[in-house]
Amino acid sequence: MQELLRIAPVIDDLGRLFGEAGHSLYLVGGSVRDALLGRLGHDLDFTTSARPDETHALLKAFTPATWDIGRDFGTIGAIKRDGDQEWQIEVTTFRADVYRSESRKPEVAFGDTIEGDLIRRDFTVNAMAIDIASRAFVDPYGGLEDLADGLIRTPSTPERSFSDDPLRMLRAARFASRLGFSVVPEVVAAMTDMAERISIVSVERIQGELTGLLLTDSPREGLDLLVRTGLADQFLPELPALKLEIDEHAHHKDVYEHSLTVLDQAIELEKARGHEPDIVNRLAALLHDIGKPATRRFEGPKVTFHHHDLVGAKLVRKRLKALAYPGAVVKSVEKLVELHLRFHGYSDGEWSDSAVRRYVRDAGDELERLHMLTRADCTTRNRQRATRLRRAYEELEWRIDELAAQEEIRSLRPHLDGTQIMAVLGIGAGPEVGEAYRFLLEHRTEHGPIPEEDAEALLRDWWAARQG
C-alpha cells in the first residue's frame, strides 16, 4: 500500500482516463512483484482492455511524451513528469501470444480478460495485477504465495508455457538468480525435456536473457540450472564442456566449478573496486578457461592444458559472435582470455621494468579488467599459495602505478609519432613508417623514455642499418 500511495499521482489520473473511456487498467507483472517486495522503481507496467490505437490516444491526453515502442505487440510507451519525479510507463493490451513450432517470433493475439492475460505470463510471481480503479488485488494463480515461499512456478503447465514462448526457460534461470528463488521440480523437468525448443528463439533474445542473468548479483545458480537442464548445450556448449572428468588422482581441479567460483570472485572485486556490473568482466571470468577441454593432455602423472589461453581466445570470439554480442564486447573478452595467464610469469620470478611495460601495453584499455580477472582466477585452497599470489599481484599493480607516474605507461607511445618519423627520415606515408613506429615502440617498452634528440639519432641509425 505504501508503494501504491507513492505512485498514486500517476496511477489515479491514468486510471480515470481509461475508466472514462470505458476500459479497465491494471498495474501488472514485475511492477506488482516489485511493489510487494518493497523495491518498485520508476518503470511502471500496465495492461488494459483498450486496443493499441485507443491506448495511444489516451496516453497522449495524459502526457505529451508518448511513443510507439511496439504497437504490433500491443505496447505503447510514455514518460510522465510530476515535479522532480519521472515515470516511464508502458501500457499493453491484454495479450494471448503463442509460438508456432517453426517460428522464431510470437504470433500476437489480443485477449479480453485480465485472467486470460495473466495466465499467458511467464511465472506466477509476475502474474499478479492491481485494478487501478478499485485497487483490487488480482492473483488467480497463487503468485503471492509463491513470492512468499521464494518459488519460480508457471501459471499454466510449464509445458504449455514454454511451448508458447521457449525463452521463458532462460528467464526462469535469470529470475532464480535475480530473486534468489528456487525453481519448482516440474518446471526444471519441463526445461530439461524441452531444452531443444530454445532453438526456435532468435539469438538476439537468447543473448539478452544470458546478459541479464550474468548481470545479476549472483548468477551462479541460474547458470548451473542452464547446465543441469541441458539448455546451455543449445547456445553456450563451451560452458557444460568444462565439466571435465577428474582423473582418480585428482591431478587437476574441477574446471567448471572453478569457472563459476572465478565469476563469483570477479563480481566481488567489481563491487570492491567501485565498478558497475560489467558484462565484459563477467563473460571473461566465466569463459576464461574454455580452451581447456580442447588442450587437455596426460603427460605421465600430470595433466596439462598447454596454450589453452590462445585456444580459448579463439573459441570465445567465435561463440560471442554467434550470440550476437557487440564487436567491442567480443574484442575485449577475447583479449582478456588471451592474457589471463600472463601474470603467472611474474608470480614465478622477478620481472624487469620492460616486462611490466609490455604487460601494460598488451593489456591496453583492458588493464583494470585484467587486474580483476587475474585476481579472481586464484581459487586455490592452499592459504600459503593464495597469499603468495595475492602479494605478487599487489606488487605488480604497485610497480605499474609507479612506472605510470614516471612514464605514463598506461598510454604507452613510441618516442616519435608518424609525422615526426617522416620528417626525420625524409619519407612519405607508407609501410616504412609503420616499421619505424614499431621499432621505436619496442625500444620504449624495453628501455623507457629517452629525449627526443636521442630518439631521432636512434631512428637514423636504425634507418641506415636497414638501408645497408
As given in the structure block, the three cell numbers for residue 213 are 542473468
Let me know the angle formed at the C-alpha of 188 by 169 and 172, rounded to the nearest 5 degrees: 35
Lowest mean pLDDT among 110-119, 184-193, 245-254, 455-464: 245-254
Distance CA 459, CA 134 (A): 82
Question: Which pTM does this prediction carry?
Answer: 0.81
**What is the dotted CATH code of the domain comprising 243-411?**
1.10.3210
Give the pLDDT confidence of 116-170 residue by residue, as tens digits: 899 989 999 999 999 998 889 999 999 999 999 999 999 999 999 999 899 999 9
Instruction: Please tell me the chain's helix, strand, coil percentages from 3-state DSSP, rounded to the nearest 5.
Output: 60, 10, 30
Tell me which DSSP letter residue 26 carries.
E
Where does the chain hold its CATH 3.30.460.10 domain(s)? 1-147
Helix (H) or strand (E) holding 402: helix 383-407
Q: How many helices (H) and strands (E) does the chain have?
A: 24, 11
How many CA within 13 A on the CB side of residue 53? 0
Where does the chain hold its CATH 1.10.110.30 domain(s)? 150-235
Phi and psi (nearest 5°) for 129? -145, 160
Where does the chain hold its CATH 1.10.3210 domain(s)? 243-411
* Nearest-10 Cα torsion for 389, 395, 401, 402: -160
The mean of the pLDDT values for the chain is 87
- Burial status of residue 156 (CB atoms within 10 A of its CB: 0-12, 13-18, 19 or more): middle
Residues with Cβ within 8 Å of 66's Cβ and at least 6 positions away in sequence, in order, are 56, 59, 60, 76, 77, 78, 79
Quick one: pLDDT at residue 196?
A: 95
Distance CA 28, CA 129 (A): 4
Mean pLDDT of 377-395: 81
Quick one: pLDDT at residue 248?
A: 45
More confident residue, 298 or 25: 25
What CATH architecture does domain 150-235 belong to?
A: Orthogonal Bundle (1.10)
Quick one: pLDDT at residue 245?
A: 60
Q: Are the C-beta atoms of 106 and 122 separated by less than 8 Å?
A: no
Most confident of 11-15, 39-43, 307-311, 384-388: 307-311
Quick one: pLDDT at residue 83?
A: 74
Q: Which of 286, 161, 278 is nearest to 220 (CA)?
A: 286
Residue 413 confidence (pLDDT) above 50: yes
Q: Are the C-beta atoms of 54 and 66 separated by less than 8 Å?
A: no
Distance CA 387, CA 383 (A): 6
Mean pLDDT of 328-333: 97
Please report which confidence band the pLDDT of residue 346 belongs to, taking 50, 70 and 90 as the band edges. low
The count of residues in the chain is 468
Class of domain 1-147: alpha beta
43-48/297-299 β-pairing:
unpaired
Residue spans of alpha helices (H) in 408-430: 418-425
As given in the structure block, the three cell numbers for residue 427 are 619519407
More confident residue, 310 or 354: 310
Distance CA 309, CA 289 (A): 7
